């Protein structure tokens, strides 16, 4: 996607890289994990102060006014540095609030621009259920809405101040905003593969605000897929970079193992897969309303990242499973993000539904 990055976005990329690189040293990440911290509050505050977390918010609320490509630039850097932050959920959620009704959500978005608000996204259903058939129900009482039901695997649940929730209404599924600590909200947090936290969200007549029109859920899912693809590309790039350095220094039989043809082939295959993922991600960013492009970007992101982190950890041998060495973190992140909002199989099923309408349902 580098050909989409102009001078301004390149400066944004460099800024995000500089801040994240200095804050994601192996020693610091190990310290955070040893303390049981799933995210880096100090790093979040620094990124917010620099404006990185609000790149896609309008200037009226203190943002930079960029589009979805800017979010992808930041998220790719996050994956590259495995920076423990609730970035993709907050950036996408706040973008959707600004796009749908800036006036209504302005106070919240102004707080988001300073880093004081972190919004997560609750879309996943039990047993890999359809994202567009939510189990949570929304009931209207005049202009007011209340939500009841359960959501699973809500990302960054332990740090969220607000939640975007998909829910079923009498006229189809819609998106709603709730306060993460509102009356009727019950959280159960669990640790996940990437060392972060996800939550089971139980709602009992929780006051909610409708976000956007009936088509908003499709937009939210589409942009979430693109965001996750960007993180996955960054994870794969970071793992490959680290491994390339390792094989150029690690010697066996009196020569660097990177000179062995079998290893060269493995890393070359990984590089080609990442290039393909970058290409389809760029396609999705140039056509942000194209559902098929977003699904393809998601599928390639998952596939290339999982394949790359497996190869890279394998090439490292025994040190690949040493938690004091950073390659294991790329492996864990690759696994976790590749299973967020579905997996490669659900992407293929969704894509077949786009290409052959009605086939999947039949």
pLDDT tens, position by position, 256-298: 877 788 889 999 999 999 999 999 999 999 999 999 999 999 9
If pLDDT is split at 50, 70 and 90, which confidence band does 362 have?
very low
The span from the CA of 230 to the CA of 304, in Å, is 12
CA distances from 257 to 77, 226, 253, 261, 264 (A): 28, 36, 9, 9, 9
Q: With 70 as the cut, is the pLDDT of residue 343 above it? A: yes
Q: Residue 358 — pLDDT band, cuts 50, 70, 90?
A: low
Nearest Cα to 180, choosing from 197, 168, 193, 195? 197
Residues 106-117 have a mean pLDDT of 97
Q: Do 46 and 23 contact (CB within 8 A), yes or no? A: yes
Pair 87, 119: CB distance under 8 Å: no
pTM: 0.94
Average pLDDT of the chain is 92
Residues 187 and 150: beta-carbon distance below 8 Å:
no
DSSP assignment of 207-273:
EEEEES-TTHHHHHHHHHHHHHHHHHHHHHHHHHHHHHHHHHH-EETTEEGGGSHHHHHHHHHHHHH
The three-class DSSP label of residue 174 is strand
Q: pLDDT tens-digit profile of 156-186?
A: 999 999 999 999 999 999 999 999 999 999 9
Question: Confidence class of residue 360 from pLDDT cuts 50, 70 and 90?
Answer: very low
Kindly calculate the radius of gyration of the chain based on its CA atoms and give it in whole angstroms.
Answer: 20
Say if residue 78's pLDDT is above 60.
Answer: yes
Reported as half-sphere exposure (CB side, CA atoms, 13 A), residue 107 has a value of 1
CA atoms within 13 A on the CB side of 186: 8
Q: Which residues contact 334 (CB under 8 A, 6 or more apart)?
A: 232, 235, 236, 239, 305, 306, 308, 309, 310
For residue 50, which of 13, 83, 2 has the smallest C-alpha distance?
13
b/e sequence 343-354, b meaning 16+ C-beta within 10 Å: bbebbebbbebe
Angle of helix 68-81 relative to helix 7-23, nearest 10 degrees? 30
Q: Is the dihedral of CA 147, 187, 126, 192 positive or negative?
A: positive
Angle at 189 between CA 183 and CA 190, to 5 degrees: 165
Sign of the alpha-carbon torsion through 348, 350, 353, 355: negative
Q: Please check the confidence at residue 5 and state whether its pLDDT lies above 90.
A: no
The DSSP letter of residue 319 is G
pLDDT at 158: 94
The span from the CA of 357 to the CA of 264, in Å, is 42
Q: What is the mean pLDDT of residues 37-61?
A: 94
Q: How confident is the model at residue 1 (pLDDT cuts 50, 70, 90)?
A: low
Please give the Cα distance from 318 to 205 (Å, whole number).
52
């Amino acid at each position: 996607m580098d050909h989409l990055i102009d001078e301004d976005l390149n400066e944004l990329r460099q800024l995000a890289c500089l801040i994240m690189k200095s804050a994601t040293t192996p020693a610091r990440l190990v310290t955070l994990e040893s303390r049981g911290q799933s995210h880096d509050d100090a790093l979040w505050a620094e990124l917010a102060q620099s404006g990185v977390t609000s790149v896609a918010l309008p200037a009226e609320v203190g943002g930079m006014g960029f589009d979805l490509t800017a979010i992808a630039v930041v998220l790719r850097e996050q994956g590259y540095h495995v920076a423990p932050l609730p970035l993709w959920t907050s950036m996408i959620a706040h973008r959707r609030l600004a796009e749908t009704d800036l006036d209504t959500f302005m106070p919240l978005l102004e707080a988001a621009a300073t880093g004081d608000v972190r919004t997560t996204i609750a879309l996943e259903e039990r047993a890999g259920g359809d994202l567009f058939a939510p189990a949570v129900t929304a009931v209207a009482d005049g202009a007011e809405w209340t939500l009841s039901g359960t959501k699973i695997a809500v990302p960054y649940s332990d740090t969220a101040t607000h939640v975007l929730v998909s829910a079923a209404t009498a006229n189809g599924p819609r998106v709603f905003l709730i306060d993460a600590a509102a009356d009727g909200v019950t959280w159960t947090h669990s640790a996940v593969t990437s060392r972060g936290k996800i939550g089971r969200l139980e709602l009992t007549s929780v006051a909610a605000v409708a976000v956007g029109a009936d088509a908003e859920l499709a937009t939210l899912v589409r942009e979430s897929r693109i965001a996750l693809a960007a993180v996955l590309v960054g994870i794969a790039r970071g793992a490959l970079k680290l491994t390339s350095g390792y094989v150029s220094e690690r010697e066996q039989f009196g020569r660097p193992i990177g000179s062995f043809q079998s290893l060269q082939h493995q890393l070359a295959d990984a590089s080609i897969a990442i290039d393909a993922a970058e290409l389809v991600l760029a396609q999705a960013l140039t056509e942000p309303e194209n559902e098929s492009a977003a699904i393809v970007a998601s599928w390639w992101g998952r596939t290339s990242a999982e394949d790359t982190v497996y190869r890279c950890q394998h090439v490292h041998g025994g040190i690949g499973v040493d938690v004091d060495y950073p390659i294991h973190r790329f492996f864990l992140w690759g696994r976790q993000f590749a299973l967020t909002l579905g997996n490669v199989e659900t992407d293929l099923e969704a894509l077949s539904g786009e290409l052959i309408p009605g086939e999947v349902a039949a």
